[in-house]
Amino acid sequence: MGVTRLHTHLDRLEAESIRIMRETVAECRKPVLLYSIGKDSSVLLHLLLKAFYPARPPLPMLHVNTTWKFREMIEFRDRVAAETGVDLIEYINREGVRQGTDPVNHASRHTEIMKTQALRQALAQYQFDAAIGGARRDEDPARAKERVFSLRGAGQRWEPRKQRPEPWGLFNTRLAHDETLRVFPLSDWTELDVWLYIRREGIEVVPLYFAKERPTFVRNGALLVRDDERVPLEPGEKLIPKRVRFRTLGCWPLTAAVESEAADLDAIIAEMLDTRQSERAGRIIDLDPSDSMERKKREGYF
Amino acid sequence: MKATSDNRAGVVAPVPALAARLAALESRDTLRFAMCGSVDDGKSTLLGRLLAEAGMVPDDRLAQMLRDSRKHGTCGGAPDYALLLDGLEAEREQGITIDVAWRYFGTDKRAFIVADCPGHAQYTRNMASGASSAELGVVLVDARAGVQTQTRRHAAILAMFGVRRVLFAVNKLDLIDYNHARYHAIEQECVDLAHDLGIEHADAIPVSAINADNLVARSPNTPWYGGKPLLEYLETVQVERHADAAFALPVQWVNRPDHSFRGYAGTIAGGRVAPGNEVVVLPAGRLSRVVRVVGGDADLDVAEAGQAITLTLADQIDVARGDVIADPVLPPDIAAQFACHLLWLDDAALLPGRRYLMKLATQTIGAQVTEIKHRIDPDTQAHLAATRLVANEIGYCNLSLDADIAYRPYSEDRRLGGFVLLDRETNATVGCGTLDFGLRRDSNVHWQQLDVDRVARARIKGQIPRCLWFTGLSGAGKSTIANLVERRLVADGFHTILLDGDNVRHGLNRDLGFTDADRVENIRRVAEVAKLMMDAGLVVLVSFISPFRAERRLARDLIGDGEFMEVFVDAPLEVCEGRDVKGLYAKARAGKIANFTGIGSPYEPPESPEIHLHSDRESAADSATRVVKLLVS
């Protein structure tokens, strides 16, 4: 028998996220959990298991694979799926693979085809009406007004003016036939909350978050870790072993590492409390005009 | 966002050991507050400046803000801290905020969730989401203008949404030369306003966002101010939490992985629950006992308001999403009709009588506003006549639901008293409101547990209470047969009562006519009386035309399947009309009685009555014999 904790901030965040997930399953016809392998997804999955315990979560998880993820991410994904018993659907935009995309030289196009379009295709193919994702409002100013249950119109488009008010966390899940929902149980969490919760609950995350010596090179000012041979080094570039880690994880040529000595959770949190860079600064694709996130969202990006 | 008190500008704090720091962060609590102010009060600037001063804005965001300040800032190229907050492209270009924006920051003591509410009057509706979950309201007041119309409106909406503590941040103090007398006058205005609106606690702080006065440190510009700076106020202000209410758990999802486990998952709206507790399942009213309280992936000794849990019960009873599992001593009230406050959100107006869907806690049910009592002027709180509500208007209304729900008045419990209305056609969320109380007085009356129950009363009479419900056309022979049945029962030693339609309409129901609405009410009252008589241990005979299936179903549901016996006294209309004992058919045919059943108003025959009598083919005595046989079998 456990002892009731006082209601801390983390307790309240956890309870609300579980409520949101249960609401999705209770009200939606065919929900899915979008699993991106990162720390937020790890927290989502942990909450999902708690929300439906002792039942196995009554929904599958979907990973949209751009084929450029770190190998450690894919290994981690497959192991977690096996250990939790949650059904894993992997979706790859085969047409995009056939055409060939280039995350190095055409990052935006690569993301559009292998991530945004692929997600739209996957949701349409499997007829999911609600996709639970790990996006947080604190990630970007454009997300500050996002609803927990975000209505997407035809083509998964987000219309800022059609979003529904959610007083008292009463979520309106009614849909016309071409509409879907994105559900964000971590809306109220900050990056710090995520790490504190991972620490408190002992949640396993991809080892790439922890500092380790890795083969790095610098391109366009970003410190990259070379994960496979598909990107040849250009003249003047060379692989230098450095102790680095990642604050966010994505396609490896699009994810900048930071030099760090933080090799465990406490060190990561300590580093975050001191660092003066926002989380998404490590995402190369976000360094476009400052409103790029809003544009991407309108096009159906998560 | 960073959460560091030690790199706050102007704050000198020793760096505690990391472990202690992490422990503090892990155990800190939350303050949810709504921030509101008129368009020009400088709300975004204040919040942006507070975050920057407290060292919570990352360098890359600060740099972006400085770049953007030169491009489209409103401070002539100087840092425009409001740009740290304004999110959407469209509104950034227009320089307004149209929607609630959620902000997150924290210190080692507290995490803050801020609903940054839009200022324009026409966006009042957008305050709803922010105010509904707020534990504190922060209202900006421009020191040059004092309390304005918009200040009143914001405070009124906070009050409507149950926010019991409001902080008035009197901003732009630099523009009144930090004049204490002027500030004091505004402070008094604010306290008076809060008092008028029934807000229990009101505080005020003099600030200047531009100069960072009294944001994270007391300002030398206001030596006369002895209170806390804004950040410290937010870190320490006490807000009430509904921890000591009676237990209530709206059932969200039934967890049934296999037949060895059947649990009811939900978030506790109020109170606490432990294994062994007696509970009642509402609205049905069945009693049971808690066996396990499962929280996350472990069994708990006790769980309390706000926790997401799963309960298992000792009895195999029917519990579904939308039911409320509650403390049987102080359960939520049950009602289907309410007085409520309603804030209209949709561009299409609210029309009384139109059918919407209502969502309250985990319950979804058909609803209509039957009457708009009045509209409330948001600025003066005056009551205005209204036949409809348009977007941003607040009305005091009567609300009627398709069936009973479990609820608590909003002032007692936000989760069981706050609701939204959804449009059935457009699927939009069109309104939101607060239940004040149930109408028809069935709400505030708790079910008193009586020591002597129906079974005990019936036992001394040596009988089992039953309700024989005779239905049929006027002249079909209901009263005749019911009379015979009662005489036989009394002769056999049964204790009975006969409720006859004509007789009841002379007394209890003499205020009712023959419209459909009155017929419904007629039957509802009789069913309630029948139920009371059965509680007294009696065999109740009801002889009413009761033409509508829906109302007979209502009576059956109220009395309980198994104890309710529908007796269909059947005879063709022409036979009944031929008998015309009371001369009513003749009058109806002559147009002297409107809505007469069988002539001007339909009779819906029972689909599966417990007994079907044909009064045109068998004698009343034979019919009575069959009824008595059925009853004693």
The position carrying tokens 């649990």 is B263
The closest alpha carbon to B526, from B564, B495, B494, belongs to B564
pLDDT at A135: 94
Q: What is the pLDDT of residues B491-550, one digit of tens each?
A: 888 999 999 888 888 889 888 887 776 777 888 889 999 999 999 999 999 999 988 887
Please list every residue in chain A whose beta carbon sits closer than 8 Å to the beta carbon of residue B295: 2
Q: Which domains does chain A have, with CATH numbers?
A: 3-195+291-298 (3.40.50.620), 207-286 (no CATH)
pLDDT of residue B8: 38
More confident residue, B76 or B290: B290
Average pLDDT value for residue range A63-83: 96
- Calculate the average pLDDT of chain A: 88
pLDDT of residue B602: 86
Question: Which residues touch A275 (CB under 8 Å, ≥6 apart)?
Answer: B2, B58
Q: Which of A3, A52, A165 sits opposite B429 (nearest CB)?
A: A165
What residue in A sits closest to B256 (Cα-Cα)?
A55
Do residue A165 and residue B92 have CB atoms under 8 angstroms apart? no
Is there a contact between B37 and B43 (Cβ–Cβ < 8 Å)? yes
Taking all residues of chain B, what is their mean pLDDT, rounded to a whole number?
Answer: 87
Instruction: Tell which A residues from 211 to 250 touch B, by Cβ distance under 8 Å.
Output: none
pLDDT value at residue B16: 58
The pLDDT value given to residue B96: 40
Percent share of chain B, pLDDT over 70: 91
Say whether pLDDT at B460 is over 60: yes
Predicted local distance difference test score (pLDDT) of residue A253: 92
Residue of A nearest to B304 (CA): A4
A28 pLDDT above the threshold of 90: yes
Give the per-residue pLDDT at B22: 92
Residue B74, pLDDT score: 67
Q: Region B241-247: what's the mean pLDDT? A: 74
Helix locations, B96-161, DSSP H? 127-132, 149-160
Mean pLDDT of B607-621: 92
Question: CB distance A26–B414 less than 8 Å?
Answer: no
Task: Give the list of residues 6+ apart from residue B31 with CB closer than 8 angstroms, or none.
Answer: B110, B111, B112, B113, B135, B136, B234, B237, B239
A276 contacts in chain B (CB < 8 Å): 2, 58-60
Total CB pairs under 8 A between chain A and B: 220
Beta carbons of B422 and A174 less than 8 Å apart: yes
Smallest Cβ distance to B304: which of A4, A138, A276?
A4
Is A191 in contact with A275 (CB distance < 8 Å)? no
β-pair partners for B31 = B112
Q: Does A3 touch chain B (CB under 8 A)?
A: yes
User: Would you call B106 helix, strand, or coil by DSSP?
Assistant: strand
**Of all helices (H) and strands (E), which one includes residue B341?**
strand B333-344
Hey, which residues of B are catalytic here? 546
What's the rounded Cα separation, in Å, for the pair B482 and B542? Answer: 8
Q: A82 falls in which pLDDT band (50, 70, 90)?
A: very high
Shortest distance, CA A27 to any CA of chain B (angstroms): 9
Amino acid B614 reads H
Evaluate whether B319 touches B279 at the Cβ level (below 8 Å): no
Helices A265-274 and B18-27 sit at what angle, rounded to 10 degrees? 80
CB B103 within 8 A of CB B114: yes
The pLDDT of residue A2 is 35
Tokens representing A221?
């000012």
Evaluate if residue B12 carries a pLDDT over 60: no
Q: Is the pLDDT of residue B597 over 60?
A: yes
Higher model confidence: residue B142 or residue B121? B142
Residue found by looking up tokens 């072993």 in the block: A241
- Least confident range from A182-196, B97-111, B370-384, B525-539: namely B97-111
Nearest CA in chain A to B56: A276
pLDDT higher than threshold 70 for residue B162: yes
Q: What is the pLDDT of residue B97?
A: 47
Q: Is the ipTM of this complex over 0.95?
A: no
Q: Looking at residues B418-426, what average pLDDT do you find?
A: 92
pTM given for the model: 0.76
| CA separation for the pair A73, A208 (Å, rounded) | 8
- Decide if B220 contacts B211 (C-beta within 8 A): no
Q: What is the pLDDT of residue A277?
A: 62
Question: What is d(CA B79, CA A184) in angstroms, rounded to the nearest whole number?
Answer: 33
The chain B residue lying nearest A151, using CA atoms, is B428
Which pLDDT band, with edges at 50, 70 and 90, does B447 fall under?
A: low
β-bridge pairing B308-313 and A212-219: unpaired
pLDDT at A273 exceeding the cut of 90: no
Q: Tell which wins on pLDDT, A183 or B558.
A: A183
Residues from chain B that touch A26, judged by Cβ atoms under 8 A, are 252-253, 321, 362
Give CA torsion, residues B502, B503, B506, B510, to 10 deg: -70
Contact A191 B267 (CB under 8 A): no
Hey, is the C-beta of A84 within 8 angstroms of any chain B C-beta? Answer: no
Whole-angstrom distance, CA of residue B419 vs CA of residue A171: 11
Of B585, B580, B582, B546, nearest in space to B566 by CA? B546
Which stretch, A130-139, B5-14, B53-62, B585-594, has highest mean pLDDT? A130-139
Name A235's Cβ contacts closer than 8 Å, sequence gap at least 6.
none
The span from the first CA to the last CA of chain A, in angstroms, equals 40
| For B3, nearest residue in chain A (alpha carbons) | A273
Q: What are phi and psi of B526, to 5 degrees?
A: -65, -40
CB contact under 8 A, A163 and B99: yes
Q: Do A9 and B432 touch (CB under 8 A)?
A: no
